[in-house]
Amino acid sequence: MGKLVRDKIPDIIRADGREPDLRRLDQHEYVCELHAKLLEEAAELASASSGQVAEELADVLEVLYAIARIYGISMSEVRDLADQKRADRGAFDERWYLNSW
């Protein structure tokens, strides 16, 4: 079973003396695989040691960049929306856990 990989991974595999079996995804497949990759990277972040958190956050961010590009959304727009949500609803700094409502 395959997976979406970063652009330079095929060259890295070739440099190791192996030949990757590749195919280019169509747009629909690409969107689906990006969403799957986001879940994969989020799971890796959730299980990362404290020393691995920054690297896993970078992987999540790269997938978010790719998803934003597909939809023609700039990361500055995403940051502005996050800032607005933070102003309206707060952040997660207080660590509130809602048991019921």
b/e map of 56-74 (b: 16 or more CB within 10 Å)? Answer: beebbeebbebbeeeeeee
Domain membership flag for residue 65? yes
Q: Name the domain count of the chain.
A: 1
Report pLDDT for 94: 95
Domain membership flag for residue 89? no
b/e map of 6-31 (b: 16 or more CB within 10 Å)? Answer: eeeeeeeeeeeeeeeeeeeeeeeeee
Range of the domain at 54: 24-83
Domain membership flag for residue 1? no
Q: What share of the chain is helix, strand, coil (3-state, %, to 5)?
A: 60, 0, 40
Length of the chain: 101
Mean pLDDT of the residues in the chain: 97
Domain membership flag for residue 66? yes
User: pTM of the full predicted structure?
Assistant: 0.89
Domain membership flag for residue 100? no
Domain membership flag for residue 92? no
Q: For 19-47, how does the pLDDT look when each residue is reduced to its tens digit (9 = 90+)?
A: 999 999 999 999 999 999 999 999 999 99
Span 37-59, mean pLDDT? 98
